[in-house]
Amino acid sequence: MNDLGDRFVSRAEIARLAGVRRPAVSNWERRHPDTFPRPASAGEDGTELFRAAEVVDWLDHRAIPANARENGEPAGTTYGDRFRAGLQGGAEAAPKTPAPAPDTLVRGVEQALAQHGGTVSPEHVEMLLALLCLRGSRPEAWRALSSAAAGTTPPEPTELCRRITSDLPVRLSPTTLQTWQEGGRSLVEAIRLIDTHGTGERSECVAAFDHLIEWAARTGPARTAGEFFTPPSITRTVTRLLAPSVDAAEVHDPFCRTGEMLAAIVDTRGVSGRTRPLRVSGAGTPDFSLRLARLGMDLRGYDPADLVQGASTPSEYTAPLRRKVDLLVTNPPFNTRVPESPRNTGHWRYGPPPPHRANFDWLQYAVDSLSADGRACVVMAAGATFSNSSRERQIRSAMVTDGAVECVVELPPGLFFPTGIAVTLWLLRAPTGSCEEVLFITARAMGTMATRAVRSLSEQESDAIAHEYHAWRDSGGTGGAYRGSPGFSRAVGLDEIRANDYALTPSRYVSPVPETDSAPARKDSLGRLSAKLVRLHEEAARIDAFVESILRRHDV
């Protein structure tokens, strides 16, 4: 089995060593009563104990979702890897770069990609994702397909494509099918590689699916990568801000890209111990991204039909969302144009956005879509917090005074693969009619360079941002005074926001931590540097937004 001997662990220790919250362990027991280890002993206080050897064997078959992996944990890392490393030297001593075992499903996918050298096309990616979906969600159909491919005379690629599409609820692109039908034995080899690696459990297929999408975004054309994928450190931060705060009946993403924001919410709830049924819905564009989102939802056990064709702005929707949702997450395209003849303007409760920038089209749509206790998190270009457009300033001020804006989080630049543009997270709620204060969090100093061009937030940094938001919300619910964290967060009243012309740039309100020096000259210098830093941040974001709009206009 392994070399852990007669070591025993409690449920709390399992959670700590595996890096999950305590309810996740109870959730695993409830969902897998036939395979999860049974208590083998009891402590002096009566606490049930499990054999560590049996626990780690079970956790070895549970791959960590992409949005839950820590920095340095490659795709294919399992909860067993974390657990074992924690037992050997404490959670803090866990190795940062564990290598996936040679037979993991991720390794099989990588070998299938290697068949095509450096010319992997979207069609190759789509078919491999379809195969992962089939293996993880329809085991009987997969066994029939893999048995046929493993035979001495496997069916022709045309017949294999027919079998794959007949068992999937998502229609693949005709170009994808043609590419693989003309690829000779490539499809047979891809099926064999995916079948002979890993255990094929749904969680492992999900991990391999997420790994392949992230790989495609990183290696694809720079202009399209950001349109089609939200990096894991952003989705992780969004879910930790929102998921614990609302026991949602439905989560909706009006611009779902490849479904990564929805998937992060679903995966987080899967290890949180929550059992309330969750409906997942959304809209997406272009067709390629929407198909991948549907495959990902189907693999996770959700109806792919609830993801429908969308548009680049909500005012273009022919069929706007009629129901109110508890949870809305989205990373919409930045600074796109509002259509000259919008079809859907019912959500413009605070006024029409300027025709050249649809940022406040999205923000108003998010507010209008929420149920009475709902929450939204919208990833938005930093320029939306301070733009001088009269229309945007009017909408921004109306949203604040109506109580629709709870919190604005300033993230570091460089988190997206193709661009260094700085972004913010807007935490929104259904309007209350008044505003007492808004929480501002500045995380511009956070993150480390994952590559030469891309920055990433760590698991601990995402937790720190979420903790600040939840501490502020908890203080409001208990009547306690929220003090904030110097240099990181501050709750600001309406009068101060009004005095700043309703600018919502967090670094305007959160001053850097002063050094221990009471000399007046030093204090004056720090004040001047702080004001200059705010101006530079705003100017950098304005330039980023301007360059981004030029690139989109000229399609380069």
What are phi and psi for residue 114, nearest 5 degrees? -65, -20
* pLDDT category of residue 103 using cuts at 50, 70 and 90: low
Give the CATH number of domain 8-93. Answer: 1.10.10
Q: 309-313, 383-387, 521-525: which range is least confident on average? A: 521-525
As a whole number of angstroms, the distance between CA 98 and CA 77 comes to 7
Instruction: Give the model's pLDDT for residue 97.
Output: 38
**Burial class for 233, CB neighbours closer than 10 Å (0-12, 13-18, 19+):** buried
Q: 33-37, 152-156, 405-409: which range is least confident on average? A: 33-37
Helix (H, G, I), strand (E, B) or coil at 9: strand
- 406 close to 428: Cβ distance less than 8 angstroms: yes
Q: 272-276, 414-418, 479-483: which range is least confident on average? A: 272-276
Q: Is 78 left (phi over 0), alpha (psi -120 to 50) or beta?
A: beta
As a whole number of angstroms, the distance between CA 179 and CA 131 comes to 15
Instruction: Give the model's pLDDT for residue 534.
Output: 52
* pLDDT category of residue 118 using cuts at 50, 70 and 90: low
**Would you kindly state where each structural domain of the chain is located, as residue ranges?**
8-93, 105-210, 222-509
Q: 12-16, 362-366, 505-509: which range is least confident on average? A: 12-16
- 331 close to 230: Cβ distance less than 8 angstroms: yes
| Residue % of the chain over a pLDDT of 90 | 54
Helix (H, G, I), strand (E, B) or coil at 304: helix
The CATH architecture to which 222-509 belongs is 3-Layer(aba) Sandwich (3.40)
Q: 155-164, 475-484, 526-535: which range is least confident on average? A: 526-535
What are phi and psi for residue 62, nearest 5 degrees? -120, 100
Q: Which residues contact 528 (CB under 8 A, 6 or more apart)?
A: none
Instruction: Give the model's pLDDT for residue 380.
Output: 96
For 293-307, what is each residue's pLDDT tens digit? Answer: 999 999 999 999 999
Amino acid of residue 325 = V
As a whole number of angstroms, the distance between CA 465 and CA 425 comes to 11
pTM greater than the 0.75 cutoff:
yes
Instruction: Give the model's pLDDT for residue 92.
Output: 39
As a whole number of angstroms, the distance between CA 490 and CA 482 comes to 8
As a whole number of angstroms, the distance between CA 285 and CA 290 comes to 6
Instruction: Give the model's pLDDT for residue 277.
Output: 76
As a whole number of angstroms, the distance between CA 161 and CA 156 comes to 9
CA distances to 235, 236, 444, 465, 525 from 455, in Å: 14, 14, 11, 16, 30
**Which H or E run contains 461?**
helix 459-478
